[in-house]
């Protein structure tokens, strides 16, 4: 077979409520997740020995290849699909690492989609979801990268949501913020709940076709990991303040556990103008105008 290819789009947490810490140490969450036009690329050379090569502008920060989530996902797939055909993966890494964009999880999900295609599995095959869960908590929502509500430890997913396209600017100040450290800084004891607004199980009907209504809805639901992330990496606050000062910005928030922040704008033109201005002021930052869906 010829070389196979899949996109691994950035995952954006439009909301992120940490509802509490479970007695097993994991955290229950509720999040409205969307996916960006920006992302990594994953290639598969079928039927070669299982291996991974990482290239691209952010490859150096991706860590050891043998510990990459792409290989973990492939091994989890092989454990659940007897005599599975595998291959050699090539990951073109474009997204910042440890950035709150679910890059590694999206890479792993793209690898699973490629293996599913190679082995004739449907994307709703339960073995694929099981392999995703075994690989990481954000991998299941990235298997079919469309907007959804995510709950539990990332294992309870809504049906895809028809969100209006959201023009946005993604900004990363080149500071890596490991997720585990942010959760430690959150400081919840096992069994404890985190006070805050209740995250709805669905979206108001008016938000599904109206970007203004959706932004108003999002403004009432925070990202609970912003305070601990800001305490660990004050540079995140600088990026958020820079975006908040912009006349184009309608909502500014951090994604995931950081350090990437985003500004929602009225149009792609406004997002592009804002991105140019941020890059002019901070040329070393990673800045991407995009559309979230």
Q: How far apart are CA 143 and CA 123, in angstroms?
A: 8
Percentage of residues in the chain with pLDDT exceeding 90?
96
Q: Once rounded to an integer, what is the mean pLDDT over residues 158-183?
A: 96
Question: How does the average pLDDT of the chain come out, rounded?
Answer: 96
pLDDT higher than threshold 80 for residue 36: yes
Determine how many CB atoms are found less than 10 A away from the CB of residue 56: 15
pLDDT higher than threshold 80 for residue 269: yes
Residue 205: the pLDDT is 92
pLDDT tens-digit profile of 101-118?
A: 999 999 999 999 999 999
Degrees (nearest 5) of the Cα angle 50, 53, 56? 150
Residue 105 annotated as binding site: yes
Range name among 62-66, 85-89, 109-113, 271-275 with the lowest pLDDT average: 62-66
Specify whether the CB–CB gap between 167 and 271 falls below 8 A: yes
Integer angstrom CA distances of residue 36 from 104, 126, 194, 195:
15, 26, 29, 30
Q: Once rounded to an integer, what is the mean pLDDT over residues 10-27?
A: 97
Q: DSSP alpha helices (H): ranges in 197-287?
A: 211-219, 226-232, 235-244, 268-281
User: Three-state SS for 140?
Assistant: helix
Residue 112 annotated as binding site: no
pLDDT higher than threshold 80 for residue 59: yes
Residue 158 annotated as binding site: no
pLDDT higher than threshold 90 for residue 272: yes
From the centroid of its chain, how far is CA 2? 29
Active site residues per annotation: 11, 138
Determine how many CB atoms are found less than 10 A away from the CB of residue 14: 24
**How long a stretch of residues is the chain?**
293
pLDDT higher than threshold 90 for residue 132: yes
pLDDT band at 42 (very low <50, low <70, confident <90, very high): very high
Residue 65: the pLDDT is 78
Residue 89: the pLDDT is 97
Residue 206 annotated as binding site: no
Residue 187 annotated as binding site: no
User: Three-state SS for 249?
Assistant: coil
Among residues 178, 217, 231, which one has the least CA distance to residue 63?
Answer: 178
pLDDT tens-digit profile of 226-243?
A: 999 999 999 999 999 999
pLDDT higher than threshold 80 for residue 1: no
Residue 240: the pLDDT is 98
pLDDT band at 119 (very low <50, low <70, confident <90, very high): very high
Residue 64: the pLDDT is 78
Range name among 56-65, 214-223, 257-266 with the lowest pLDDT average: 56-65
pLDDT higher than threshold 90 for residue 62: no
Residue 126: the pLDDT is 97
Q: Which helix (H) or strand (E) holds 108?
A: helix 103-118
Residue 102 annotated as binding site: yes
Q: Once rounded to an integer, what is the mean pLDDT over residues 12-35?
A: 97
Tell me which residue has tokens 């991974």.
Answer: 52
């Amino acid at each position: 077979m010829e070389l196979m290819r899949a996109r691994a789009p950035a995952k954006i947490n439009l909301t992120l409520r940490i509802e509490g810490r479970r007695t097993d140490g994991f955290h229950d969450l509720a999040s409205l997740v969307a996916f960006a036009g920006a992302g990594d690329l994953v290639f598969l050379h079928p039927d070669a020995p299982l291996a991974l090569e990482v290239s691209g502008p952010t490859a150096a920060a991706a860590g050891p290849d043998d510990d990459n989530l792409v290989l973990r996902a492939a091994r989890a797939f092989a454990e659940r699909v007897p005599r599975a055909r595998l291959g050699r993966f090539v990951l073109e890494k474009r997204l910042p690492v440890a950035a709150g964009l679910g890059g590694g999880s999206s890479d792993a999900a793209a690898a699973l989609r490629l293996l599913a295609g190679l082995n004739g599995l449907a994307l709703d095959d339960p073995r694929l979801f099981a392999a995703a869960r075994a690989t990481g908590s954000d991998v299941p929502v990235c298997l079919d990268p469309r907007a959804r509500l995510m709950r539990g430890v990332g294992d309870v997913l809504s049906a895809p949501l028809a969100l209006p396209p959201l023009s946005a600017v993604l900004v990363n100040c080149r500071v890596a913020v490991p997720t585990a450290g942010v959760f430690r800084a959150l400081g919840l004891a096992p069994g404890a709940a985190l006070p805050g607004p209740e995250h709805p199980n669905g979206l108001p009907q008016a938000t599904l076709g109206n970007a203004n209504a959706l932004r108003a809805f999002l403004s009432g639901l925070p990202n609970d990991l912003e305070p601990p992330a800001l305490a660990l990496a004050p540079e995140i606050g600088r990026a958020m303040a820079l975006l908040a000062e912009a006349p184009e910005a309608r909502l500014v928030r951090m994604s995931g556990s950081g350090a990437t922040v985003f500004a929602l704008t009225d149009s792609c033109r406004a997002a592009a103008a804002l991105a140019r201005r941020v890059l002019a002021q901070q040329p070393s930052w990673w800045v991407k105008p995009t559309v979230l869906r």
